[in-house]
Structure 1
Amino acid sequence: MSENLQYFRAIYNFLPSEKERKIVLITGARQTGKTTLAKNKYNTLRYINLDSPEIRDGISQITASNWHKDIGKAILDEAQKEPSLFEKVKYAYDGGNLDFQVILGSSQILLLKKIRESLAGRISLYELWPLMMSEIYAGLGAKIIKPPLIDRILEEEDFHKLMESLPSVLIGEEDIKLKEAQEHLLRWGGMPFLLSINNAYERQKWLRDYTYTYLERDLADLSRIEDLEPFKKFQTISALRNAKLLNYSELARDVGISVDTSKRYLEYLKISYQTILLQPYGTNITSSAVKTPKIYWLDIGLLRQMTGFWGDVISGDIFETLVISEIYKWIKTMQKPVSMYFYRTRSGLELDILLKINERIIGIEIKNRSIVTPSDLRPMKAVADGLGKLWSGGILVYNGDKIDKIAEPNIWMIPSRRLF
């Protein structure tokens, strides 16, 4: 399956053609498939890997005026290793001698002052995330990636009409493959290489090695941390607080570092695509809303590795993380103009997700079980009443089999595997 995944990345057809006048920057976490994607999409372009000191030395000798002749259209991998190239790309591009360039790099590339100064306004930025459920499903035998249901929900204004058009249940091979894709994500996360490993021990070893590689390479790019032990402990403690309200003081206390260091460490995790902060919806809908974000680890495999939770039982936090990360990855990958929040009041009322799409809002509640009860809908109904005309519809994401309308105003239950 993994051999075919290079053809099944949702971003593939979203990337510009090499016939366009573009400087394309593809960034993301390590091992998410940036090189494979670029080589497959732009298979006629020369590939240059700047991880090699010899290659970097050669690149440094090329003058800006000769860049279009000596390099020309090319894929420049690990570009953050040679910051001098960005001014040369700018010179060739602005002079009209270079129409297209693909730049690949780690998270550090977005922080480089030379990029901000040299290529501001010239770069088309794309982010590659760990595999999404639709991509794993495609790799299991589908010939193409169909946009998942969440994409249609974000695009189509008539939520009720869309829901009514869907089959209530799936049967046969399609549902079996969707279950398999979801089970892989819940157990191992979305790192592409894991799909080529069938042994559970080797998969765990790969994830363990990845965390070491991250410490050695990404942190070396991002910062100069002399003592890695506090940061390693911070990773573990932050993973144990996954899906919880962020509290820098508690993180700092548990790790034994200052609050400022705690903030700096979390920023490293965010910049390197390991974690996200889900922001609270700031407007008071029902009563006084909390203003503190929640922290999520984006990849469940890495989350399990950091916490050591390898059991077969899927916790509510893990299932919640699946739903949050899948929606977030799709929005970011396809660059949707959608804002994603959660809502929680000081009195304890909470709705897991609010998606703001132009002048409408969709609410989402996440339940890790196969049966829905009336009490599951109370927070959503309260938020819907408070939002009034802004409310477009509600989704209760669960582990069952059926899509069905379960309540007003326009609230539907949808199996998680059908949504993504």
Structure 2
Amino acid sequence: MIDRRILAELIELLDSNPAVALIGPRQVGKTTLALQIADARPAIYLDLESDADRAKLAEPELYLAGHEDKLVILDEVHRLPGLFQNLRGLIDQGRRSGRRTGRFLLLGSASIDLMKQSSETLAGRIAYLEMHPVDGLEVPAAELPRLWVRGGFPDSLLASSDRTSLRWRQDFIRTYLERDVPMLGPRIPAETLRRFWTMLAHHQSGLLNAADFARALGVDGKTVASYLDLLVDLLLVRRLEPWHANVSKRLVKSPKIYVRDSGITHALLGLATEEQVLGHPVAGGSWEGFVIETLSAAAPAGTRLNFYRTAAGAEIDLLLTLPGSDIWAIEIKRSLAPKAEKGFHLASDDIGAARRILVYPGSETYPLGHRVEAMSLATAGAELLKLV
């Protein structure tokens, strides 16, 4: 069992809201986390992929009213999107009788229809929490290389061998393409979406050029945009937007694209071991994405993530705009003897960065000059956790 940092936040939300939606990709550990909570308080668990459990909700208000003194956990809730209207009535009825919090925990993969319907129907009654795969702050420092290679999905990370882990991820990708995407989104040929997903993995940390992808896939730019929107919505791909502000610089306007889980990136490219990853051109971009996902998970709620690049070459890999408006400039290197480039110093001066951090695979923290600190991923993440 891996202790998940998100557990405390989920309990806090349940204790202050009538309904909480825990969203995230399949197999990320949502059900395991929910059952941990169910062990600590009166609760009932319904898996809406089960015919038997769906049958119990043929008359949802009648059934759920009999369990109004319990936390009701509804897994795979996107299978019954019409249920939200019933939940609204039950929540409002419970408020009038003094039951204001901890009524429903909804688990599901993010999808446009689910998010739209739940936010419209349960506005003011539901809080959302995104569950990430295991990140670099949830394992010991010695386990970071394995986490990077295998990714943060628990079954992949804890597999008995690299080969078994790779097979699990390949099956995960196939399941998403052939089963989940057709159920959650528009009808897209599985092979076409696989090619696009693989192209994104090859392009890890690169600027989005929709025209190039469109030519390679034989579709138009709008179709590429719809494919990308779907993978972003399913929390499988991150679209990192450029930072814009009133500076007298010509800034890059295209977003950068990352397959969010490093293990899925490597599986799409057929890379099973650390040696294979390090020998592949994607190693630098994969490490960059891995660091970004870990720091994103550690950052306080409301933190904005961007990158910065000017036409002249000044660049910052990751900008964190914290809720108090302080900006942290993060440079990411895959070297044990890292150096901050001149462009990073210039860009940090341009935006007035409050902190300048270079994240590298080593373990020591030391100054690099020009107010830049070299830090391990664990140390940089811990600095962010202090702000939460």
**Both proteins in one fold, TM over 0.5:** yes
Partner letter of residue 271 of structure 1?
D
Deviations for 1:160-200, whole angstroms, at most 9, x for unmatched residues? xxxxxxxxxxxxxxxxxx1x221112211101112331222
Match of 1:28 in 2: 24
**Distance of aligned partners of 1:77 and 1:102 in 2 relative to their CA distance in 1, 3 Å threshold:** same
Q: Is the 8 A contact 1:108 1:221 kept in 2?
A: no
Q: Is the 8 A contact 2:150 2:157 kept in 1?
A: no
Q: Is the 8 A contact 1:67 1:88 kept in 2?
A: no
Q: Structure 1: give runs of 5+ residues left out of the alignment.
A: 138-177
Q: Please report the TM-score for the alignment, with normalisation by the length of structure 1.
A: 0.81
Cα distance in 2 between the residues matched to 1:195 and 1:24 = 27
Shift of 1:360: 2.0
Bigger Cα displacement from structure 2, 223-232 vs 241-250: 223-232
Q: Is the 8 A contact 2:331 2:344 kept in 1?
A: yes
Would you say 1:350 and 2:315 are equivalent positions?
Answer: yes
Tell me, what secondary structure is at the counterpart of 1:276? Answer: strand
User: How many residue pairs were aligned?
Assistant: 365
**Distance of aligned partners of 1:47 and 1:10 in 2 relative to their CA distance in 1, 3 Å threshold:** same
Q: Is the 8 A contact 2:17 2:126 kept in 1?
A: no
Would you say 1:341 and 2:338 are equivalent positions?
Answer: no
Query: Which of 48, 66, 85 is residue 69 of structure 1 equivalent to?
Result: 66
Tell me, what secondary structure is at the counterpart of 1:107? Answer: coil
Match of 2:342 in 1: 378
Match of 1:163 in 2: none
**Distance of aligned partners of 1:195 and 1:400 in 2 relative to their CA distance in 1, 3 Å threshold:** closer
Would you say 1:299 and 2:240 are equivalent positions?
Answer: no
Q: Structure 2: give runs of 5+ residues left out of the alignment.
A: 382-388
Q: Percent same amino acid among aligned pairs?
A: 29
Query: Which of 50, 65, 68 is residue 52 of structure 1 equivalent to?
Result: 50
Deviations for 1:100-125, whole angstroms, at most 9, x for unmatched residues? 11111111276355423321221011
**Distance of aligned partners of 1:395 and 1:20 in 2 relative to their CA distance in 1, 3 Å threshold:** closer
Cα distance in 2 between the residues matched to 1:418 and 1:222 = 38
Shift of 1:291: 0.8
Partner letter of residue 319 of structure 2?
L
Would you say 1:111 and 2:114 are equivalent positions?
Answer: yes
Partner letter of residue 44 of structure 2?
R
Bigger Cα displacement from structure 2, 273-282 vs 226-235: 226-235
Q: Is the 8 A contact 1:380 1:394 kept in 2?
A: no
**Distance of aligned partners of 1:48 and 1:291 in 2 relative to their CA distance in 1, 3 Å threshold:** same
Query: Which of 185, 189, 199 is residue 227 of structure 1 equivalent to?
Result: 189
Partner letter of residue 29 of structure 1?
P
Cα distance in 1 between the residues matched to 2:246 and 2:207 = 18
Q: Where does 1:81-92 land on structure 2 (aligned, <5 Å)?
A: 81-92=79-90
Shift of 1:28: 0.4
Cα distance in 2 between the residues matched to 1:312 and 1:233 = 20
Cα distance in 2 between the residues matched to 1:199 and 1:256 = 38
Cα distance in 2 between the residues matched to 1:258 and 1:242 = 21
Q: Is the 8 A contact 1:26 1:126 kept in 2?
A: yes
Cα distance in 1 between the residues matched to 2:194 and 2:296 = 26
Would you say 1:38 and 2:34 are equivalent positions?
Answer: yes
Q: Is the 8 A contact 1:237 1:254 kept in 2?
A: no
Match of 1:14 in 2: 9
Cα distance in 2 between the residues matched to 1:233 and 1:312 = 20
Q: Is the 8 A contact 1:60 1:84 kept in 2?
A: no
Higher RCO (CA < 8 A, seq sep 6+) = 1
Match of 1:360 in 2: 326
- Off by >6 Å, runs of 4+ in structure 1: none
Tell me, what secondary structure is at the counterpart of 2:4? Answer: coil
Please give the root-mean-square deviation of Cα atoms over the aligned residues, in Å.
2.1
Partner letter of residue 287 of structure 1?
K
Tell me, what secondary structure is at the counterpart of 2:145? Answer: helix
Would you say 1:313 and 2:278 are equivalent positions?
Answer: yes
Q: Is the 8 A contact 2:57 2:63 kept in 1?
A: no
Tell me, what secondary structure is at the counterpart of 2:58? Answer: helix
**Distance of aligned partners of 1:66 and 1:130 in 2 relative to their CA distance in 1, 3 Å threshold:** closer
Bigger Cα displacement from structure 2, 221-230 vs 83-92: 221-230
